[in-house]
Amino acid sequence: MHWFKVTKKRYHKKVDDYKMKRISFKNFSIRRLLMRGVNEIRQNAKHPRVKLILFATAFLWLKTLIAYYVDFSLGVQGVFQHIILWLNPIAFGLFFYSLSLLVSKEKHSRRVLLLLVVLQTLILYGNILFYREFSDFLTAKSLFSSQSFKMTGMTGSLGALMKWYDFIYWIDLPLIVWAAKKKFLGREQSHRFNKRYGLSLAALAVVIFGLNLQLAEISRPQLLLRTFDRNYLVKYLGLDFFSGWDVAKAVHANKVRAEADESEMEPIMDYIKKHQVQPNPETFGIAKGRNVVVLHLESIQQFLIDYKAKDENGKEVEATPFLNSLYHSNDCFSFSNVFHQVGQGKSSDAELMLENSIFGLSQGSAVSQFGSDNTFQAAPNILRNNGNYTSAVFHGNVGSFWNRNDSYKKWGVDYFFDSQYYALNKENSLEYGLKDKLFFRDSIPYLEQLPQPFYSKMITVSNHFPFPYEEKNASFPKMHTKDETVNGYFNTAHYADQALKEFFDYMKKAGLLENTVFVFYGDHYGISNSRNKALATALPNADAENWGDFNNAQIQRIPALFYIPGISKKGIKAGIQSTFGGQIDMLPTLLHLLGIKTDQYAMFGHDLLAKDHPNEVIFRNGTLVTPKYTVIESKIYDTKTGEELTDRLTEEEKAAITAKVEEAQKPLDFSSEILSNDLLRFYQPEGFKAIDQTTLNYSDNLSRLDKQIKALGKNYRSVLSQHGNKTTYGLYKTDAPELESTIKEAKAKAKKKGLPDYNTLAEKAK
Ligand code: MN
């Protein structure tokens, strides 16, 4: 039993040690620790090696800032964002460079430092070159897939991407070597070196990063959870953080994907086939062969439709008079009970549903996470396969936002015109891009060239949170709720409606109405639940006092319009429809109107015009709304009256409703499975073929469009060709106060970049 006694003794010693530690822990003081840290850094900052590291970090900081301001366009706004930008290169540079102090021998330590400096420079400069070509940052995927290099021919054009001042990005290397050699930072021998210097520098870096993260969270909450945009990650947390984050994400996603196999797709397709409904024979194919123009209405909610407010003279003004006129038109299928179904991915979730009829994720943006890598069977490719459609998306913001420039390639979008194709200046743009009236106007020179039939989408931005009030663009009566955001919302929505009207007036003059179907949809709520009470005080028939979860659910309705000019003359009755549905249903509805069957695709939506539409809608958070019941978590309400029924229903009724909710939630889980395991790569719909995405480069739209037009030869039909190849740009009339400065900006930009000057062409065409 001797060994037992020994271990017992040891055990008691350990316990005593532990108690001792606890006691000393009691005397712990953050202040003392901080003081000690500061002291230590002050002490070791005198050491030549530490000085060299600070010297290298300062250079990295300087050249990163040069890249931020000169080569990247990060959209930095306001003093606070500039402060974050100035702070973010420090932490990682300091951290990495301090690793060299873990090597005690001076010579080796210096070599490690130089190696790290070269590595940092490669990361920075690689991103600069890539950004000059793609207006985006390098990702693990773009780096390791030889495809993307083929696609760009970048390897061949490296020289063309370099600029005269690029030596600045490398100048620190010889300077650091020189500083180390010349020992002008002091001599090693006169100081005692301690590896702990490295640790305390690294600790300082961690503290700086913590501060950085905190500031970023204040400026842009949920930055990492939602991952809007690569630009955002770099702007707030720096290039190093972004690169590391991206690699970690790619490794994780690859692992999940690698473990999936085709058997996982079978039960999903079984479910889809079992739940499919037959298209409505009365509406199937009524828009066959028409062009499609989708209007992605930023933050437009259904309560705006037919909303009126009194102006100073007591005269009633409609919030969205143009949308109202379509809503009540006999040529329009207008839905009064369609809801948005987005999660945190907001606009990107809306687009994912619109183009694929697949739900987003319960957390984060599916398009940001999987848009670059996954297989999709999306509308642009489906329409190319069925009717030879050319597809284009127009958006007056940077293409990297919500990972659009990558995912659009996967969806088969032929041409994506992002902010690089527009002339933005301080006056004509808001935080999220070009103001709508100018955006529509300046899309015309591209839209008119598109070979017909085309499938196009216009993504508006003016009605975006925080709905800033601008005197010169304000023409709706001032609202007087307690919430300024709510008040601003009515005004920006009114402006957005005016912009739509200007665009339609143009479409009419250009002769596009009769051969086009227009799809309007609100992308998500504009007024969040926390502001709905204030909003309710301005809504007719709303009870602000008793506003609750039920009301928050009901106000998630969005406009969903399928406007097909001329169909009423052909004896087809459109008008307002009361079917309950959501954004997931938009694509099957559209495809059926165009006469394209959807039964072979992995789509979770149903044609809203089908007689057997399930007539219910599941929210991304699991809330179910049917004409009869609204189920929010465990509470059941009467959809018509809002009364809570939970305690009045029998156990059987409740069980039936719960089963219905569980059934309705299955497509949410199936969608997540498809997305995170990339399951569509195992599924081949008959006759479906995706475009070879290596042929798509959205920085090169105009020359690719030229090529397509030449290849079409005599078969080329477009607005332009129908107008004797003279631009119709001049037909667009706008009352935008920023017009003059926009034209000036556009002319200057065309001259500088050697692009066609459409404004001068339009003046000549008159
Ligand atoms: Mn949006």
**242-263 pLDDT per residue, tens:** 988 888 888 888 888 888 999 9
Please tell me the distance between residue 432's alpha carbon and the centre of ligand 1 in angstroms.
10
Please tell me the distance between residue 744's alpha carbon and the centre of ligand 1 in angstroms.
29
Residues 328-359 have pLDDT tens digits of 999 999 999 999 999 988 999 999 999 999 99
How many Cα neighbours within 13 Å face the side chain of 251?
Answer: 6
Please tell me the least confidently modeled range out of 72-76, 359-363, 534-538. 72-76
Please tell me the distance between residue 449's alpha carbon and the centre of ligand 1 in angstroms.
27
Length of the chain: 766
Q: Cβ distance 584 to 354 under 8 Å?
A: no
Do both 69 and 214 map to the same domain?
A: yes
Do both 48 and 162 map to the same domain?
A: yes
Q: Does residue 32 form part of some domain?
A: no
Do both 388 and 477 map to the same domain?
A: yes
Please tell me the distance between residue 350's alpha carbon and the centre of ligand 1 in angstroms.
8
Do both 248 and 289 map to the same domain?
A: no
In sequence order, the 6+-apart residues with CB closer than 8 A to the CB of 533 are: 544, 547
pLDDT over 70 for what percent of the chain? 92
Please tell me the distance between residue 346's alpha carbon and the centre of ligand 1 in angstroms.
6
pTM of the model: 0.80
CA distance 296 to 302: 14
Q: Which of 526, 533, 534, 537 is nearest to 551 (CA)?
A: 533
Q: What is residue 144's predicted lDDT score, i.e. its pLDDT?
A: 61
Please tell me the distance between residue 434's alpha carbon and the centre of ligand 1 in angstroms.
14
Please tell me the distance between residue 230's alpha carbon and the centre of ligand 1 in angstroms.
17
Do both 571 and 715 map to the same domain?
A: no
Q: Does residue 465 form part of some domain?
A: yes
Please tell me the distance between residue 396's alpha carbon and the centre of ligand 1 in angstroms.
13
Do both 126 and 271 map to the same domain?
A: no
Please tell me the distance between residue 568's alpha carbon and the centre of ligand 1 in angstroms.
32
Q: Does residue 170 form part of some domain?
A: yes
Do both 227 and 285 map to the same domain?
A: no
Torsion of CA 365, 367, 370, 376, to 10 degrees: 140
Residue where a domain stops, chosen among 214, 231, 254: 254
Please tell me the distance between residue 190's alpha carbon and the centre of ligand 1 in angstroms.
62
Please tell me the distance between residue 214's alpha carbon and the centre of ligand 1 in angstroms.
26
Q: Does residue 147 form part of some domain?
A: yes
Please tell me the distance between residue 589's alpha carbon and the centre of ligand 1 in angstroms.
22
Residues, beta carbon < 5 Å, ion ligand 1:
298, 347, 523
In sequence order, which ranges of 371-483 are alpha helices (DSSP H)? 379-385, 404-411, 436-447
Do both 562 and 510 map to the same domain?
A: yes
Residue where a domain stops, chosen among 210, 228, 254: 254
Please tell me the distance between residue 299's alpha carbon and the centre of ligand 1 in angstroms.
6
Please tell me the distance between residue 352's alpha carbon and the centre of ligand 1 in angstroms.
12
Q: Does residue 36 form part of some domain?
A: no
Residue where a domain stops, chosen among 254, 286, 316: 254
Q: Which residue has the higher pLDDT, 144 or 386?
A: 386
Please tell me the distance between residue 464's alpha carbon and the centre of ligand 1 in angstroms.
7
Q: Does residue 655 form part of some domain?
A: no
Please tell me the distance between residue 403's alpha carbon and the centre of ligand 1 in angstroms.
14
Please tell me the distance between residue 686's alpha carbon and the centre of ligand 1 in angstroms.
33
Do both 193 and 327 map to the same domain?
A: no
Instruction: For strands 454-459 and 291-297, give the pairing.
Output: parallel
Which structural domain range is residue 198 located in? 44-254
Q: What stretches of 622-752 adopt beta strand conformation (E)?
A: 624-625, 629-632, 635-638
Q: What is residue 162's predicted lDDT score, i.e. its pLDDT?
A: 85
Do both 233 and 270 map to the same domain?
A: no
In sequence order, the 6+-apart residues with CB closer than 8 A to the CB of 617 are: 337, 338, 339, 341, 580, 581, 582, 624, 625, 626
Do both 617 and 720 map to the same domain?
A: no
What single-letter amino acid sits at 88?
N
Q: Does residue 749 form part of some domain?
A: yes
Q: What is residue 157's predicted lDDT score, i.e. its pLDDT?
A: 64
Question: How many domains does the chain fold into?
Answer: 3
